[in-house]
Amino acid sequence: MQDAPPNSCPCEETKIATSPLSFPPVDFDEGPAGTILAAAREILFRDHYSGLTMDRLALALGMSKKTLYVHFPSKDAMVAAIIAATGVSIRRQVSAILDGPGRFPEKLERLLRTVADHVGVMSPDFLRDLNRFAPQLFDEIQAIKERNIPTVFGRVMQLGIEQGMIRADIDVTFLAEYWLQVARGVHDPALLARTHLAPREALEKALDLFFGGVLSPAARKHLGQRLPGKPHA
């Protein structure tokens, strides 16, 4: 690493080089561009969009800002590339789980853990900061969900139906769209502020509610056909 400028704080360099966060794998390109994005992602999720600067990134990588600009014309272009690569990686990892061996319960557990790992690195502070200073990039996170969740979640539910783990009368298309709305809420800064939850916690609660329901077995037995949406005898 190159020597820090005379007016910089040595502790800043140490801070950039270490991180308490554990990052799930993302398919960055091999070579300098991928190395830059990997380092930028660490600063981005730890110190948020406003804390990611070309000066700090150049210091962390031991290269000049001029070199950074050779690969990325702006900070926004860099963050957009990180978001895009994350979306592609999640889709690949989830597809590998669904196409691989195993029964529905095992596949579902691995799939949800994979998604939760990626969701977990986005703190409420990160999301608020991104939405405030770069709303177009925040919107791109939501756009990736819209492009992927209906297809991926639809595949998951169809697999469950085929293996007798999901009710056969479920409208898979509606269910996938329903989960798209849930996924939007997981990264909604206002919702997270009201509930005092981190994105991963919100996702886990939504999953528990979805798969476990809110009614006790006794209540379900008592209500029976009187539940809304159930045909009356």
**Is 118 among the domain residues?**
yes
- Residue 183 covered by a domain: yes
- Tokens in use for 112? 């949800």
196 within some domain: yes
Give pLDDT, residue 21: 60
pLDDT value at residue 100: 94
In a domain, 154, yes or no: yes
Number of folded domains in the chain?
1
pLDDT value for 231 = 53
Q: Domain of 125: which CATH number?
A: 1.10.357.10
User: For position 212, what pLDDT does the model report?
Assistant: 86
Its domain, for residue 200, covers 83-213
Residue 63 forms part of a structural domain = no
184 within some domain:
yes
pLDDT at 10 (0 to 100):
35
* pLDDT tens digit at each of 233 positions of the chain: 334 444 433 333 323 333 446 789 999 999 999 999 999 999 999 999 999 999 999 999 999 999 999 999 999 999 999 999 999 999 999 999 999 999 999 999 999 999 999 999 999 999 999 999 999 999 999 999 999 988 898 999 999 999 999 999 999 999 888 999 999 999 999 999 999 999 999 999 999 988 888 888 888 777 765 555 555 54
Residue 228's pLDDT is 57
Q: Is residue 173 part of a domain?
A: yes
Residues 6+ apart with CB under 8 A from 13: 1, 4, 59, 60
Going by C-alpha positions, the residue among 40, 86, 88 that lies closest to residue 60 is: 40
pLDDT of residue 217: 82
- Residue 8 lies inside a defined structural domain of this protein: no
